[in-house]
Amino acid sequence: MRLTPFPRLILEKEGPRSLFRGLGPNLVGVAPSRAIYFASYSTAKEKLNGVFEPDSTQVHMVSAGLAGFTAITVTNPIWLIKTRLQLDARNRGERRMNAFECVRRVYQTEGWRGFYRGMSASYAGISETVIHFVIYESIKRKLVESRAQASMDQDEDESVRDASDFVGMMLAAATSKTCATSIAYPHEVIRTRLREEGSKYRSFFQTLLTVPKEEGYRALYRGLTTHLVRQIPNTAIMMSTYEMVVYLLQR
């Protein structure tokens, strides 16, 4: 497989281990972040179904927004450390900064507020979550309706699901995440710029105006392909697993 210039440059300058920089905080952050997110989403959805029309677009939008806000607020320090470690460029053979050193450095140079850099961009990214869940729930509802109709025609028990149902959920998740990420991706670039140590970027809107002015509007979509390659299978597996767990718990 032919490497693109950027990965090849990293390998030549910093070695293969550099491609896994920030993996520790990422592994530590994924479980609590997803747990907080889905717990908040399910709770909000249950409560809002009694306020709005059950399983309506409004319910999905507000639930996704509240869940995103909660998860971002709690876990932002973890993602900041991950980003700092990823941006810590060292030549091959030089000692790498570890997560504990990064935490100490952030606190010493920026205080507690430093751990929440880029959170404004993460809040802006809630729009991606909202778009994702609105599209996902819409596709999911159509799949469920189609399944129910097929079960009635064949006199089957519609409460019993097979593998094809979860494959459908995976495809629904992949489709919705692709659409949402493609629309809201600029917040990812802005968030990374804000989290970079010693950067000239100070706020969400200042960064949003500065990046296109200095680098062109295409800079706001830099890294989109790589991000999609990571996010689409991750989201498809995560959402289908979530649906399977909910289904098993309700049986």
Instruction: Pull the structure tokens for residue 6.
Output: 């950027």
Of the ranges 86-95, 128-137, 172-181, which one carries the lowest mean pLDDT score? 86-95
Residue 196 is classified by DSSP as S
Give CA separation, 223 vs 10, 28, 95, 246, in Å.
Answer: 15, 24, 27, 34
Domain boundaries, the chain: 21-116, 127-251
Q: Which of 125, 148, 143, 152 lies closest to 227 in space, CA to CA?
A: 125
Residue 72 CA to residue 33 CA, distance in Å, equals 8
Tokens read off for 131: 């778009």
Exposed e or buried b per residue across 62-98, where buried means at least 16 C-beta atoms within 10 angstroms of its C-beta: bbbbbbbebbbeebbbbbbbbbbbbebeeeeeeeeee
Split at pLDDT 50, 70, 90, the class of 8 is low
CA dihedral 8, 11, 12, 13 (to 10 degrees): 120
Tokens 């479980």 correspond to 31
Residues 6+ positions from 115 with CB-CB distance below 8 Å: 76, 77, 80, 81, 106, 107
**pLDDT given for residue 84 in this prediction:** 86
* 93-138 tens-digit pLDDT: 567 777 888 889 889 988 888 899 889 999 998 999 889 988 998 8
Three-state SS at 160? coil
Say whether pLDDT at 5 is over 60. Answer: no
Tell me the per-residue pLDDT of 40-53, one tens digit each, with 9 for 90 and over. Answer: 998 999 999 988 88
Q: What is the pLDDT of residue 185?
A: 94
Q: Tell me 198's DSSP state.
A: T
Average pLDDT over residues 59-85: 89
Cβ atoms < 10 Å from Cβ of 132? 26
- What value does the CA radius of gyration of the chain take, rounded to a whole number of Å? 21
Instruction: Answer yes or no: are the C-beta atoms of 199 and 191 closer than 8 Å.
Output: no
- What is the per-residue pLDDT across 192-251, written as a single tens digit (0 to 9) for each? 899 887 778 889 999 999 999 999 999 999 999 989 998 899 899 888 888 888 778 776
